[in-house]
């Protein structure tokens, strides 16, 4: 199969590095997180929308103006009262955190499974950048 061309040799090694024997690969972990994350957040958002309308109808005007409430205490309170908007916001958070969780998991796997310090560091900085907006901005 191998014609001895250099790129394919290197590539073959590369591929095997992505799939260590018996270990969890970054590819499989990422695929799983992305799928579960999207499905869960969509279900939660739709439940939130349904809850809103079960409680009492939300007017078009309200829907066009009700802004996302970034306060975690309000969110928690809203979830305990099963308020629709709070449940929708939880779904939105789940969606935004899906790729972030994927990055965090990749970072751990680069370190633990692949023992690749360079990419562990690269991934760490990507993680910091994705969280910066949520955590640092006022």
**Interaction of residue 98 with other proteins, rule CB under 8 A:** yes
C-alpha 128: how far from chain center:
14
Query: What single DSSP character describes residue 59?
Result: P
Nearer residue to other proteins within complex by CB, 38 or 112: 38
Nearer to other proteins, 24 or 49 (CB): 49
Q: What is the rounded end-to-end Cα distance, in angstroms, of the chain?
A: 58
How far is the C-alpha of 52 from the C-alpha of 96, rounded, in Å?
Answer: 22
Please tell me the count of residues contacting other proteins according to CB under 8 A.
69
Give the burial class of 78: count Cβ atoms within 10 A of its Cβ; 0-12 exposed, 13-18 middle, 19 or more buried. Answer: buried
129: contact with other proteins by CB under 8 A: yes
Q: Which residues bind other proteins (CB under 8 A)?
A: 5, 7-8, 10-12, 14-15, 18, 26-28, 30-32, 34-35, 37-38, 41-42, 45-46, 48-49, 52-53, 57-60, 62-70, 85, 88-89, 91-93, 95-100, 102-103, 106, 118-119, 122-123, 125-126, 129-135, 137
């Amino acid at each position: 199969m191998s014609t001895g061309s250099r790129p394919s040799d290197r590539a073959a090694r590369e591929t095997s590095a992505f799939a260590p024997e018996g270990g969890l690969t970054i590819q499989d972990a990422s695929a799983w997180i992305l799928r579960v994350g999207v499905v869960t957040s969509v279900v939660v958002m739709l439940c939130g929308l349904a809850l809103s309308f079960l409680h009492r109808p939300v007017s078009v005007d309200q829907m066009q103006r009700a802004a996302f409430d970034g306060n975690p205490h309000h969110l928690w309170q809203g979830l305990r009262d099963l308020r629709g908007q709070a449940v929708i916001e939880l779904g939105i958070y789940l969606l935004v955190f899906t790729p972030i969780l994927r990055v965090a998991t990749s970072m751990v796997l680069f370190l633990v499974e692949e023992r690749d310090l360079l990419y562990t560091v690269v991934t760490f900085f990507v993680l910091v950048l994705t969280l910066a907006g949520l955590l640092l901005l006022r």
